[in-house]
Structure 1
Amino acid sequence: MSLVDTPVLRTRFKTLSVIGDEGFRLFFPLSAVYAAVWPFLWVVIHGYDLPLVGAIPPSIWHVHEMIIGAFGAALLGFITTAIPEWTDTPRLRGKALYALAAIWTVARICGLAGTDGLLWTGAITDIVWTGFLAAYVLRVSIYKKNSRLTGFILWLAALWLCETATRYAFAIGNGEHAQLFSHLSGFIFLGLLGLALARITVPVTNDILDPSGATSPFRPHPGRLNLAPGIMAVAIAAELLGFSAEVTGFVFIAAGAAFLDRVAEAFVGRAFFRAEIAVLAGSSALAGTGLIAIGCARLGLPVMETTGLHVALMGGLGLGIIAVFCIAGLRHTGQPLIFSAETRIAIAMIVIAIAIRALPELGIVSELVGHHHAVAAIFWAGGFLLWLRVYWPAFADPATLNQHDC
């Protein structure tokens, strides 16, 4: 028996070693699986309920698990991969990454059931990993004397504080505060998205415009790089300070306009329509459109705020995350920055899922109302799982180690 099992075990340990070599290899697949599974279970299997739900409504658990759970794993992979690359510092690997993954997983097991019995376990683990990320980037910034990481430090610290507040609201059964801070966590992620897109879009666009790397034809206006995160911070502050719906409405419209400004800046001629650039611009477009819809709803226009939230968070964040998965998955495994046909289909499925989720609530294809959540969940899951099927072989291949191209 041992002679038969030994080669299998060796192969598995080798795969674990490769996957644990860098953050994106471990956390991007975890994020994709959880992003696919959670909405499908919640909508299709459980019918908008959770098996062990207590004082906190299932809808709030849904928001929390998508933001902190699915998108949180993507953030873990992005930060533990990008920060060492940007600062030329040793990266986390092996046991450190698997320990982080274990902490994240414990909280997700609690979230899948929505049980009050495991509330504190889930709370502590989520608070630990969100706090670790902020501390990790702060430590690297101090060590390298790199002030360019300040924005990420502030946003990550805000995420940690917001998650702490969310978990406290969960613990005392305060649904109103749990919903407020869960939504604020999503807005914080939009701030992080704005920072990340500012760093990612430049090398990607230049790679498309000049694959030789001899020139850098795309140079964005420096004063607009942090415009979207900056106004997003103002919107979050207005929410926390309890400003009126009219005031926050106008601020959200301004934040949305700042994201749309990034779309205009992304137009670099015919290359704009390349999937590698268009997916990043599409993320900004959906984030901006969703934020404007939230603002319009608060100003009394006939738009549901929940629709705007889904367009901004499911759309802007979801498309932004799949874009990072695709781009980093190629650049960090030594492959040319050219999306395959299957990759484009995966992205298209995510876009279709967002459209199906939002359009019926805007009076378009209204015949889908009543079924659109389930159909959207199926397309959404299909997009992330197809991405995983396409990229997993390269992620688990030892030949792709140390093939950075950032």
Structure 2
Amino acid sequence: MLVPPPRPAPPLHAVLADEGFRLFFPLTALYAALWPFQWVLVFGLDLPFARVNAPGLWHAHEMIFGAFGAALIGFITTAIPEWTDTDRPRGRRLCLLAGLWGVGRLVGFLGADALNLLGAAADIGWLAALAAYVVWASWVKRTDRLLAILYWIAALLVCLVAVRYAFHLGDHALAQWWLRLAGFVFLGLLGVVLARITVPVTNQVLDPTEETSPFRPHPGRVTLAPGLVAILICGELAGFSAEVTGYLAIAAGAAFMDRAGEAFVGREAARTELMALAGSAVLAGAGLILTGAARLGAPLPEVKMLHLALMGGLGMGVLMVLSIAGLLHSGRPLGFPLSTRIGFVLLVVAVALRILPDLGAIPDLPGPLYGGAAILWAGAFLLWLRDYWPFVSSLERP
């Protein structure tokens, strides 16, 4: 009896373009690792082509719309098809999104002010396409379950247009204000994602057979954190005083802390998956609470407290999404590899090294300013890439 020869494995580009997470999660890890590294250790907190806008503004823009933006594309194009049972974007559509995202990064990586309009057009293109895809999936399934996701993507698009316009004008204060709002918008998205992910992950941890659903959170917790972040953003847009927006930030932070409380489900709370979910909420909540305290007069630098919420809470949230979705969508059970678990530790230490010296809590490390934080941050995402590349680059399932 003749045995048919084994089918050749599909080429790598076909595998990566098969599903959103396969292409955009590695891009997220690479860009999240390389951008701070080159900004801090190669260019010494400067950028070679930044002539109009401050390098720090490009740094914030590239982390929000570059690194975290790639994670958003990968998550939306992977999760929405699962939630709605619709065809997933693949092939040329994914490559088009990646191309637009990549053009924006070619401009932002070196802070090329002269090419700001080109980078703006590319970034607006992929973000508008993402919003259109959510609208399409909602229309096809006649569902309103995706409206929260659409709201936050649309808000992010508004922030992007405003930031790029401020870049074009060279108005640093306006750009900084809209970048802060963009950070709040991403925290709102984080709240929505945590609400979506926490329930199935916790139930799978508690019952790996998935025959029961022992974990059922209070319905009021599902939208509490993103809802209060939305109110904070509305307060900012309405021009409320620093004291009023300070209280709103504290309320939003407290809602994230309440979200973290859902991790206490018994001894299984020590599982890295649940600790990562809770850790993201805790860091985001602490950053928002301390930001509010700074606005109320506490002797704290507001920018550093925002770093705690964004670099800490949002950064851990992105690494958590990469880790959990990377396992489940490649057909693997929950259980982070050792290197990935070490990566979460490195990320927390990186956040501490970025914030605590400026607060006088610990001395600066020898070497370039923020060098240690940049190295550990890059290490966290590169360790993830080392562990997960075999999963995302192959269509074979265990």
Q: Aligned to 1:73, which of 50, 70, 78?
A: 70
For residues 275-324 of structure 1, what are the alpha-carbon distances to aligned partners after superposition, in whole Å with 9 as ceiling and x for unaligned? 01000100000000000111111111011111111100001110001001
Name 2:311's counterpart in structure 1.
Answer: 314
Q: What SS class does the counterpart of residue 214 from structure 2 fall into?
A: coil
Large movers: runs of 4+ above 3 Å: 367-372
Tell me the distance in 1 between the aligned counterparts of 2:205 and 2:117: 47
How far 1:127 moved relative to its partner? Answer: 0.8
Name 1:358's counterpart in structure 2.
Answer: 355
Q: Which deviates further from its counterpart, 365-374 or 290-299?
A: 365-374
Within 5 Å, give how 1:145-184 maps onto structure 2. Answer: 145-184=142-181
Whether 1:217 aligns to 2:214 is: yes
8 Å CA contact 1:293–1:308 kept in 2: the answer is yes
Tell me the distance in 2 between the aligned counterparts of 1:347 and 1:397: 25
Name 2:85's counterpart in structure 1.
Answer: 88
Whether 1:106 aligns to 2:99 is: no
Name 2:270's counterpart in structure 1.
Answer: 273
Name 2:328's counterpart in structure 1.
Answer: 331
Q: Aligned to 2:127, which of 127, 130, 140?
A: 130
Tell me the distance in 2 between the aligned counterparts of 1:302 and 1:176: 22
Which structure shows the bigger proportion of residues in helix conformation?
1
Tell me the distance in 1 between the aligned counterparts of 2:120 and 2:296: 35
Tell me the distance in 2 between the aligned counterparts of 1:212 and 1:116: 54
Tell me the distance in 2 between the aligned counterparts of 1:369 and 1:49: 19
How far 1:371 moved relative to its partner? Answer: 5.1
Aligned length: 391
TM-score calculated relative to the size of structure 1:
0.94
8 Å CA contact 1:42–1:49 kept in 2: the answer is yes
8 Å CA contact 1:361–1:369 kept in 2: the answer is no
Name 2:141's counterpart in structure 1.
Answer: 144
How far 1:268 moved relative to its partner? Answer: 0.7
Q: 1:174 to 1:369 in 2, by over 3 A?
A: farther
Q: Which deviates further from its counterpart, 159-168 or 367-376?
A: 367-376
8 Å CA contact 2:191–2:223 kept in 1: the answer is yes
For residues 122-180 of structure 1, what are the alpha-carbon distances to aligned partners after superposition, in whole Å with 9 as ceiling and x for unaligned? 00011111111111101111111111111011111111111111111111111111111
Tell me the distance in 2 between the aligned counterparts of 1:169 and 1:361: 28
How far 1:223 moved relative to its partner? Answer: 1.1
Query: Once superposed, what is the RMSD of the aligned Cα atoms?
Result: 1.4
Tell me the distance in 2 between the aligned counterparts of 1:198 and 1:71: 18
Tell me the distance in 1 between the aligned counterparts of 2:150 and 2:32: 25
Name 2:297's counterpart in structure 1.
Answer: 300
Tell me the distance in 2 between the aligned counterparts of 1:176 and 1:240: 15
Q: Which runs of 5+ in 2 are unaligned?
A: 1-7
How far 1:393 moved relative to its partner? Answer: 0.8
8 Å CA contact 2:84–2:141 kept in 1: the answer is yes
Tell me the distance in 2 between the aligned counterparts of 1:353 and 1:116: 29
Name 1:287's counterpart in structure 2.
Answer: 284
Q: Aligned to 2:254, which of 254, 257, 264?
A: 257
Q: Aligned to 2:244, which of 239, 242, 247?
A: 247
Q: Which amino acid aligns with 2:269?
A: F
Q: Which runs of 5+ in 1 are unaligned?
A: 1-9
How far 1:372 moved relative to its partner? Answer: 5.7
Q: Which deviates further from its counterpart, 254-263 or 172-181?
A: 172-181
Q: Which amino acid aligns with 1:40?
A: F
Q: Which amino acid aligns with 1:158?
A: A
Name 2:188's counterpart in structure 1.
Answer: 191
Q: 1:369 to 1:154 in 2, by over 3 A?
A: farther
Tell me the distance in 1 between the aligned counterparts of 2:301 and 2:248: 17
8 Å CA contact 1:260–1:285 kept in 2: the answer is yes
Tell me the distance in 1 between the aligned counterparts of 2:202 and 2:70: 26
8 Å CA contact 2:40–2:369 kept in 1: the answer is no
Q: What SS class does the counterpart of residue 396 from structure 2 fall into?
A: helix
